[in-house]
Amino acid sequence: MINVEVNGLKYEADGGEMLLTLLRRIGINVPTVCNIDGLPPTGSCRMCVVEVEGQRNLVPSCAFPVFEGMKVNTNSHRAVDARKAIVELLLANHPEDCFYCERNGSCQLQELSESLGVRSRRYVGQKNEHPVDLSGASIVRDPAKCILCGKCVRVCEEIQGVSCIDFIGRGSHATVGTAFGEGLNISSCVNCGQCVTICPTGALIGQSHVDRVLNAIEDPELHVVVQHAPSVSISIGDDFGIPVGDDLMGVMHAAMRRLGFDAVFDTSFSADLTIMEEATELVHRVKTGGVLPMFTSCSPGWIKFVETFYPEFIPNLSSCKSPQQMLGAVIKTFYAERAGIDPHKVFSVSVMPCTAKKFEAGRPEMGRDGYSDVDAVLTTRELAQLIRMHGIDLRSLQPEPADTPFGVRSTAGKIFGASGGVMEAALRSAYYFLTGTELKAVRVEAVRGLNGIKEAHIDINGLNVGVAVANGLGNAKKLLEMIKSGEKTDLHFIEVMTCPGGCVGGGGQPYGTNRDRVLTRIQSLYSIDANESLRVSHKNPEILQLYKDYLGEPNGEKSHHLLHTYYHERETLI
């Protein structure tokens, strides 16, 4: 430990730690734009500059290590004036359409302008002109709003391992873009949206389906149904000042009905359906010598990652559709038949924590007879936008159940929203399918938590089943390389979530999602699992009834036709 003086007060610090780390720990807020928790600092934005005695120039606190006897002034006139000048220079080249920007009210550039008292324009010049890229299925790029902080580039490369965007050009002509300046639609982008959640301005936003949904609700010819993913109910409250992790499922159902949806379903139901199909597929592969390890297929960003970068592993992917697409398929077939509605008149909406779900819903494999399984996908943020637009007060609503069928779920389906949740749910049912008895310890601690790669071995009737869980595509990439090199040969089943932490940290979640919020949401899901009695998918009564009345048996002819799909290698510019 070393002694440091900050703003006239003495503190102890860890030798070698960065000054910004110390400042945050002692409760001193110094703004930063380029810094990303968990990644090495770049010090490029200079927003976190402070004065250090003995240093001629201001130093970036994120990239300046503490030393014995250091004396720091974090908010000297010189430091504050420097930060203010940086903001003013950024604004000089920034569009003036704040009223129309999706990030209005949640824009870091706005917040910095407010906190630093920027009230007039000191710098005037010609703004750079950049076209908006609307080609992506899930993400819109507006380079004119980019402040070149580099966060999106670093997340895409260092956390996700995709590297579909980078800095292009030099000096005042520098931009962030794709290879050869082409559209996102033909780049290696996997639509995960992590760049959207970390972008401090409106330079990266999600493709909106709000108008599409509103138009459908207003159309008297359409029967509009909605499903919601497991993690949405414990994250949407963030946008309304409700404590992080509070489960608003019943309240959300009530709000959805007031928005005009004709039926409200829970995607956790089809998560149970996914487990029935996926666990059966895994058991079949194990028993018949099929391709192993088998990879989960619930996360569409992960699927596109494999199709793009590791096509040799396509046979390892489970052929199961994701829960979103399974429920979409069953809604347009079984539900439509039972309700006597033409499937073409059913408009199916999903609410997801994931921007890549928009891409997935548009895949040509996801539909039949000229219609798609899912017609529109709203992110958690977009649902919150609709609720605010209609003046609905979540705190005043009484909880309501989901509609039946597709309204009953096990907690195994609910924990799908957390990294390791799919694996744990699958193990609970795979154990039963292989042994005929229930797994005594349904809580599989080894696959829980935020470690990038988690492994476990489960003894099932003498078979040592090796499983692994990866969250974040950068970690998935490491695991795939270990399998390719022969370092990992004892794995049978692997779960991969595209986003760090799983769906709870998805690219469509409320702005401001960080590691602490992700952890709280995960704890909320596991609390739900611990406090309810129906904890395995294969005992969900509505799932069993669906197989009896319509699907037949897991991995049977009809269920395979409706609930399974295929994947293919993709070509990109690089």
Q: Where are the beta strands (DSSP E) in 329-375?
A: 346-352, 367-368, 371-372
Q: Which listed residue (51, 102, 277, 278) is catalytic?
A: 278
Catalytic status, residue 318: yes
Q: Which two tokens stand for residue 125?
A: 């010049």
Catalytic status, residue 298: yes
Catalytic status, residue 297: no
Q: Which listed residue (357, 358, 414, 488) is catalytic?
A: 357
Q: Which helix (H) or strand (E) holds 167?
A: strand 166-168
Catalytic status, residue 357: yes
Cα(273)–Cα(163) distance, integer angstroms: 34
Cα(69)–Cα(4) distance, integer angstroms: 5
Whether the CB-CB separation of 124 and 131 falls below 8 Å is answered with no
Q: Smallest Cα–Cα separation from 382: which of 216, 509, 215?
A: 509
- Alpha carbon of residue 285 to chain centroid: 30
Q: Which listed residue (503, 524, 537, 559) is catalytic?
A: 503
Q: Which two tokens stand for residue 79?
A: 């430091």
Long-range contact set of residues 429-432: C-beta below 8 Å, sequence gap at least 24: 429/275, 429/276, 429/279, 429/536, 429/537, 429/538, 430/279, 430/282, 430/283, 430/460, 430/465, 430/493, 431/458, 431/460, 432/536, 432/538
Q: Which listed residue (102, 277, 281, 382) is catalytic?
A: 281
Any idea what the Cα angle at residue 366 is, between residues 362 and 370, rounded to 5°?
90
Q: Which listed residue (107, 199, 298, 320) is catalytic?
A: 298
Q: How deeply is 142 buried, as exposed, middle or buried, from its count of CB atoms within 10 A (0-12, 13-18, 19+)? A: buried
Catalytic status, residue 337: no
Question: Using the 8-state DSSP alphabet, how is residue 342 labeled?
Answer: -
Q: Smallest Cα–Cα separation from 523: which of 383, 428, 441, 420?
A: 420
Q: Which listed residue (233, 299, 318, 348) is catalytic?
A: 318
CA atoms within 13 A on the CB side of 388: 12
Question: Using the 8-state DSSP alphabet, how is residue 257 labeled?
Answer: H
Whether the CB-CB separation of 341 and 508 falls below 8 Å is answered with no
Residues marked as catalytic: 278, 281, 298, 318, 357, 360, 365, 503
